[in-house]
Amino acid sequence: MQIRELSIPDAYEVTPKQHADDRGLFTEWYRFDRLEEAVGHRLDLRQGNLSVSRRGSVRGIHFADIPPSQAKYVMAPYGAVLDFVIDIRVGSPTFGQWDSVLLDDKDRRAIYVAEGLGHCFVALTDDATVSYLVTDTYNPTREHGINPLDADIALEFPVSADELLLSPKDTDAPGLAQARDEGLLPTWEAARAFYASLDDK
């Protein structure tokens, strides 16, 4: 298993080793100890989610209040998605920037998205299936969104604009600047303090 930190601090790409023979293949797609070594603390996983999406479907940009927010370990057991992590932590050196990882059923990569970061993906195939392991249960009163088409963030979708499918919840979400001005976004300081509290456990 190879773990690489992305250009956004506290987000990682995980590439598992696949063992194939004439029966098929086997891989470890999650190892708590290897991820703990990379991020500095153990994940307290509390919920598993699964979504199935048509090609062009966009889900996100989503995030939760910190603390405790919700770290995510995401992979695609079927089909393919381009998965984005967006730094929405006010005061971060990479605030407003993003990175992406192709998640598919060929390389079987995963992405780790720390608490306080924004998360989004676009389905590149029909029936793209995405599995999420998360560190807190869903709490609608603490969940927020940013419009994934926000020009200040400028995500680059490898799907034509007329193919994109978005929910009204996501298109009605504020842009990054509005979310910052309304005090919806986490801060870099709060995120660092929360990560430090996890390191101590």
pLDDT tens per residue across span 121-178: 999 999 999 999 999 999 999 999 999 999 999 999 999 999 999 999 999 999 999 9
For residues 113-123, average pLDDT: 98
Q: How far is CA 26 from the centre of its chain?
A: 24
If you search the block for the tokens 């990560």, which residue do you land on?
A: 195
Tell me the two tokens of residue 52: 């199935």
What span, in angstroms and rounded, lies between the C-alpha atoms of 43 and 100? 22
Confidence grade of residue 199 (pLDDT, cut at 50, 70, 90): confident
Q: What secondary structure letter does DSSP report for 57? A: B
The span from the CA of 182 to the CA of 30, in Å, is: 37
How is residue 65 annotated by DSSP? Answer: -
Please determine, for residue 201, whether its predicted confidence score (pLDDT) is greater than 90: no
- Is residue 132 flagged as an active site residue? yes
118 pLDDT band, cuts 50/70/90, is: very high
Convert the pLDDT of each residue in 58-102 to its tens digit: 999 999 999 999 999 999 999 999 999 999 999 999 999 999 999
- Which residue stretches of the chain are H helix? 32-39, 168-171, 176-181, 188-199
Q: Which residue has the tokens 């992305």?
A: 6
Mean pLDDT of 104-127: 98
Output the six-digit token pair for 34: 């290897």
Active-site choice (30, 41, 119, 132): 132
CA 141/CA 28 separation, integer angstroms: 34
User: What is the average pLDDT across 38-63?
Assistant: 96
- Whether residue 138 lies in the annotated active site: no
pLDDT at 103: 98
pTM of the predicted model as reported, rounded to 2 decimal places: 0.95
Reduced to 3 states, what is the DSSP secondary structure of residue 38?
helix
Transcribe 112-132 into DSSP letters: EE-TT-EEEEEESSTTEEEEE
Catalytic residue, chosen from 30, 62, 73, 144, is: 62
